[in-house]
Copies of this chain bind each other. A is one copy, B any other.
Amino acid sequence: MLDADVQPEPTAAPATPARPGPTRPTPAAIGALRPLSLDSVSLSPSGQLGQWQARNAAATLPHCIAQLDRAGALNNLRRLTGEHDGPHTGMWFSDTDVFKTMEAAAWELADPRADPDLRAFLDGTAELLARVQDTDGYLNSYVMAERPDRRWHDLHWSHELYCAGHLFQAAVAAARVGVGQVIQDVARRLADLLVERFGPAGTEGLCGHAGVETALVELYRTTGHRPYLDLAQLFIHRRGRGLLDPERFGPTYLQDHVPVREATEVAGHAVRQLYLLSGVVDVAVETGDTALLAAARRLWDSAYLTKTYVTGAHGSRHRDEAYGDPYELPPDRAYGETCAAVASVHWNWRMLLAEGHRRYADELERVLFNALAGASSLDGVRFFYSNPLQLRTGHDGSDEDAPGQRLPWYSCSCCPPNLARLMASLHAYTATAAADGLQLHLYAAGTIQAQVRGRPVTIAVRTAYPWSGRIALEVRAASAEPWTMSLRVPAWCRSHRLDAAGAEVAYTDGYLRLTRDWSAASVVLDLDLPPRLVAAHPHVDAVRGCLALARGPLVYCLEQADLPAGVRLEDVRLDPDAPLGTTAMPGGPPEAVALTATGSVSPAGPAEPYRDPTIPPGGPATPLPLTAVPYFLWGNRDPGPMRVWIPTG
């Protein structure tokens, strides 16, 4: 069995055994901050994060479970046991849809109020996997049924190890939550086979789709079985050495073009790159490899300074679902795969734990409140795969990549269950502990119950964030011994006010550090979040002459639905000097804050695509009041054009 992360909390010894959440470095790991236990934070459904999490439990996760049957992912497994007769359907890595949904179910089961059907789904599916699994531990429905002679032969494209990784993640979640022994046993058998086959005594293989690396480290953390960590390290060291058949897509797509520690730029398939980097950080911190961690930091600079959209989305090219050149960030052709946004949360969370810097929490917030939140419909059962920042007409000509509307499922449906597993564990990403106390990174209504220096602490968080910037904290600690509560001041925040309850206050690295006896104290932090304009780096050619609207962590957009009849979005200009305001979102959730701005509309001029610049491009401009809505809420009303970056002239 897996020993559910038996190492004690370094800064808090819980009265009852704490259940670790996702990413649980061992005590020996490099780490500035430590994650809290899964049950240390509960989100109130009245807050935005809690609302998303509740919607995930009530709608998204049941929807995913139902789709596993409808789309055939479970039948792909059942045909190996004779329980189903029919061809393999969907992608050759459809097992991951199952595993990710199982992981989501496991995290959800940490909540005692969870639907008991989740446990039945988890256990029943684990039993199915156990029946499918070969005696040597091998498990992959596609290869076992369709390519039995090609086991481990086509690692560049087979996704066998990638699939294994998602199985391990499901098992780790089950172990940490204390449910589902069968899935843990299945995972360990397969993991042991991987060690045998690809470990130091095995063949020099690696996977064309990264992901198993971080999963193996997490499995090591949960079991204490060192060979898993060693194998993850090997997989990372093997990259960039030409061991993968580059075939059609080339080595960059496969993350095999350069050894990780020599890479200077994120490149290739964005999800592969980001999954790999989560594993890189995990291996670096667990092996004390500061040079590898420095490589991750260097690649973070590449990714977040030159290749990330203002929504936190990654991937500028539909072709190869890839990163582009630095500053190649076209809003209309943004690929911005939902899975890349999930992976960006994973990577930034790991960087935050390792180094403690605010920029990682800022990025986590940005991608969560924009690219990620926007991937789901308001009802939680339709999803974007690609998340562009501009929609002119119908986008890509194909239903699957046409984000005029979210779809309930995809032929490659990696994204919906990825959202489900992240949302089910979202509370675990909000706060951390360190030797000096607790750090609050994401503000959400709810309760934090942790231990500081072995003594219980409760923080009740009341806030309507991100709609309001007021965060009210009621702290109760069992001990009067002073400690430090750190509150993030996001980089977007230009002014704030703090009622620190008399605490000693320092401001370092973007955090307000409040030190006092916390036996009973009320703190109020007011982050000012006036509507603001955002400009892009001048090298971002695609949005030159445009500005974006933002408020707090939220990026806004214009939608056709908010324009008067007869006005085309592409004719709208923003007056950058006019005041901005707030209003209720037309047709949106009652709590949603929309922005008001002033612009103009100038009907298109001559039809000629190219003209003498002295000829005016259009007719006289007519003033036009503008309403911008949160990007994450776009596409929930009448479908139509949308844009985040608005021309100013």
Contacts and interface: CB of A to CB of B under 8 A. Distances in A.
Interface of A: 250, 252-253, 267-268, 304-306, 308, 310, 317-320, 322, 324-333, 390, 392-398, 494, 532-548, 570-571, 576, 602, 604-613, 615, 617-618, 647
Contacts of A536: 609-611
B327 A392 contact: yes
A92 B475 CA distance: 71
B322 A397 contact: yes
Contact of A396 (B308, B319, B617): B319
Contacts of A328: 332-333, 392
A541 B332 contact: yes
Nearest to A607: B305
Contacts of A605: 537-538
- Counting from the closest, the 8 A-B pairs by CB-CB distance are A535-B613, A545-B545, A318-B319, A544-B545, A325-B392, A538-B617, A319-B319, A537-B609
A143 to B, nearest CB: 22
Contacts of A543: 541
A534 B613 CA distance: 6
Nearest to A246: B398
B576 A611 contact: no
Contact of A611 (B318, B396, B534, B606): B534
Given A305-B608, A322-B397, A536-B611, 7 more contacts: A268-B397, A308-B609, A325-B393, A533-B612, A535-B612, A537-B609, A576-B613
Contacts of A253: 397
A563 B622 CA distance: 42
A494 B611 CA distance: 12
A249 to B, nearest CB: 8
Given A308-B609, A390-B541, A537-B617, A570 B327 contact: yes
A614 to B, nearest CB: 8
Contacts of A398: 250
A393 B392 CA distance: 28
Given A250-B398, A544-B545, A537 B611 contact: yes
17 contacts: A305-B607, A305-B608, A305-B609, A310-B609, A324-B332, A325-B394, A325-B395, A327-B570, A327-B609, A332-B541, A494-B612, A534-B610, A534-B611, A534-B613, A537-B606, A538-B605, A544-B545
B538 A604 contact: yes
A533 B613 contact: yes
A99 to B, nearest CB: 26
A318 B617 CA distance: 29
A330 B327 contact: no
Contacts of A320: 397
Nearest to A396: B319
B333 A617 contact: no
**Most chain B CB inside 10 Å of its own CB: which residue of A308, A331, A611:** A611
Given A333-B330, A397-B252, A537 B610 contact: yes
A609 B326 CA distance: 10
A306 B607 CA distance: 8
A266 to B, nearest CB: 12
Contacts of A267: 397
A244 to B, nearest CB: 15
A583 to B, nearest CB: 22
A414 B398 CA distance: 26
Contact of A535 (B533, B547, B548, B610): B610
Contacts of A571: 538
Contacts of A395: 325
Contacts of A250: 397-398
